[in-house]
Amino acid sequence: MTFYVQKFGGTSVGTVERINAVADKVSGFRTAGHDIVVVVSAMSGETNRLIALAHEFSEQPEAREYDALVSTGEQVTSALLSMALINRGCPAVSLNGGQIQIQTDDVHSKARIRTIESERIDAEIKAGRVVVVAGFQGVDSRGNITTLGRGGSDTTAVALAAALNADECQIYTDVDGVYTTDPRVVDGARRLEQITFEEMLEMASLGSKVLQIRAVEFAGKYKVPLRVLSSFEDGPGTLITTEENEEMETPKIAGIAFNRDEAKITVLGVPDVPGMASKILGPISDKNIEVDVIVQNISEDGTTDFTFTVHRNDLTAALEVANKVASELKAREVKGDDKVVKVSLVGVGMRSHAGIASKMFAVLADASINIQIITTSEIKISVVIEEKYMELAVRSLHSAFELEGPSPVEQ
């Protein structure tokens, strides 16, 4: 007998037929003798619909009520899936975040899980029921409903698997694993048999939305065996592993991630004196705006240019702050650009292979793509480029780094 936490995403529970198909799958696992806790997302499109509804009432909806509203999508699917299971003679019970005491901080719409009570779930499992948990939500110390950020049901599943000591956390979605890049952008993208937590964390934080970043962080921290699989067809999926596989030669590049949510701000002609970066970025972070890539040019005439990127949704607010600071600092000009994207190569094998960066830049040059910003870490290289070149860049890099088709080690 194995104990699985199984999470089904929006498309996987998007229609009555899909919910019935999930119920068949889950009851099949029960019949085979496994213990199952299921975590469900809202039906696909439902969270967006609820968010749009909230915005009918206010540009910036009240944070507590916003979470009370957007958490309802998951409650609907958990109840429906329980009904479908019970119809099949498979005892089941739906529980929401408050009922199983998923305690979070009080940062609405991006709350972090602090603790989970396992008593209620343990009791239900002992009683032979499948527990169907509404993902994406918790409660703060005062009992207010909180939500965990977009894609947060992944984190609910991993956190439950850690708290309940499950044998494996399975993330069922609309693709059959983690690919070398988004298979919806590159036809020849290849499913990975496995990927390290470190690589998956980079891929997720650089824009691959197949897993929420916090879910990967959580799984790495608590050593939760994590697998991404298709809810539509059987298959091994992709295992997220703690170890670099020593038996196989580590490929240089695991995958390519991209992020369309970037926007760039440049402050031109800033006096080149100590403390400038903090004078510009301090007020930006005071507004709770996250800054991603930062570069400062070398100065020649006592002034410098300072460029940074933010989430596209934050561009207007960030520009407002940057303009204010720029006039205080007597900088020449502030420019905003929301037509940029970030494309990144990720791989632990980069550590031991030189020349990846220069090859990446040569490939982009051959495709006549201008690089605006470059950042690197030990296991990733990112470039910011014009948005219209994103697909061309990803395809060119995917083929130049030979990520297509079966990998040499799998043949």
Helix (H) or strand (E) segment spanning residue 167: none
Q: Which is nearer to ligand ASP, 170 or 396 (CB)?
A: 170
- The residue range among 41-49, 86-94, 198-206, 329-337 that interacts with ligand ASP, by the rule CB under 6 A, is 41-49
Judge whether 59 and 99 are in contact, CB under 8 Å. no
Residue placing its CB nearer to Mg ion in the complex, 156 or 266: 156
Dihedral (Cα; 85, 88, 90, 95), 10-degree rounding: 20
β-strands 3-8, 168-173 pairing: parallel
Nearer to ligand ADP, 178 or 216 (CB): 178
Q: Interacting stretch for Mg ion, rule CB under 5 A, among 143-151, 200-208, 247-255, 350-358?
A: 143-151
Q: Is 71 in the site for ligand ASP (CB under 6 A)?
A: no
Chain residues that interact with ligand ADP, rule: CB under 6 A: 9-12, 41, 151, 173-175, 178-179, 181-184, 208-210, 255
- Per CB under 5 A, the list member of 14, 151, 251, 255 interacting with Mg ion is 151
Q: Let me know the angle formed at the C-alpha of 190 by 208 and 188, rounded to the nearest 5 degrees.
A: 100
Q: Which does 199 bind (CB under 5 to 8 A by kind): ligand ASP, Mg ion, ligand ADP, none?
A: none
Instruction: Output phi, psi for 181, to 5 deg.
Output: -160, 175
291: three-class secondary structure by DSSP: strand
The interface mask with ligand ASP, positions 136-155, x = CB under 6 A, is x-------------xxxxx-
Nearer to ligand ASP, 41 or 238 (CB): 41
262 binds, among ligand ASP, Mg ion, ligand ADP, none (CB under 5 to 8 A by kind): none
Which residues 6+ apart lie within 8 Å of 58 measured at CB? none
d(CA 320, CA 315): 9
Q: Closest distance between ligand ASP and the C-beta of residue 47, in Å?
A: 4
In sequence order, the β-bridge partners of residue 89 are: none
Q: Does 103 bind ligand ASP (CB under 6 A)?
A: no
Count of residues in the chain = 411
* Lookup: tokens for 327: 């006039």
The edge-to-edge listing of strands for the beta sheet with 262-271 is: 291-296, 303-311, 262-271, 333-337
Decide which of ligand ASP, Mg ion, ligand ADP, none touches 283; Cβ closer than 5 to 8 Å per partner kind: none
Instruction: Answer with the entry of ligand ADP, ligand ASP, Mg ion, none that 73 interacts with (C-beta below 5 to 8 A by kind).
Output: ligand ASP
11's contact among ligand ASP, ligand ADP, Mg ion, none, with CB below 5 to 8 A by partner kind, is ligand ADP
Contacts of 377 (CB under 8 A, 6+ apart): 202
Q: Is residue 14 within 8 Å of 42, Cβ to Cβ?
A: no
Task: Report residue 121: phi and psi, to 5°.
Answer: -65, -45
Question: Distance between CA 326 and CA 316 in Å, rounded?
Answer: 15
Among 42, 257, 293, 360, binds ligand ASP (CB under 6 A): 42
Binding ligand ASP by CB under 6 A: which of 61, 73, 97, 347? 73
User: What are the angstrom distances between the C-alpha of 168 and each of 36, 91, 101, 284?
Assistant: 10, 22, 22, 41
Beta partners for 273?
none
82 binds ligand ASP (CB under 6 A): no
> Out of ligand ADP, ligand ASP, Mg ion, none, which partner does residue 181 contact, by CB within 5 to 8 A per kind?
ligand ADP
255 binds Mg ion (CB under 5 A): no
162 binds, among ligand ASP, ligand ADP, Mg ion, none (CB under 5 to 8 A by kind): none
Residue 193 CB, shortest distance to ligand ADP, in Å, is 13
φ, ψ at 194 (rounded to 5°)? -155, 160
Binding pattern for the stretch 92-131 against Mg ion, x by CB under 5 A and - elsewhere: ----------------------------------------
Which of ligand ASP, Mg ion, ligand ADP, none sits in contact with 210, Cβ below 5 to 8 A by type?
A: ligand ADP
Phi, psi dihedral angles at 254 (to 5 degrees): -85, -40
Give yes or no for a contact between 375 and 293, defined as CB atoms under 8 angstroms apart.
Answer: yes
Q: Which residue of 11, 12, 27, 41 would you call a contact of ligand ASP, by CB under 6 A?
A: 41
- Minimum distance, C-beta of residue 269 to ligand ADP, in the bound complex (Å): 39
CB of 406 to ligand ADP, least distance (A): 16
| Among candidate residues 282, 255, 223, 247, the one with its CA nearest the CA of residue 410 | 247
Amino acid at 152: G
- Nearest CB to ligand ADP, comparing residues 210 and 267: 210
DSSP 8-state code for residue 13: G
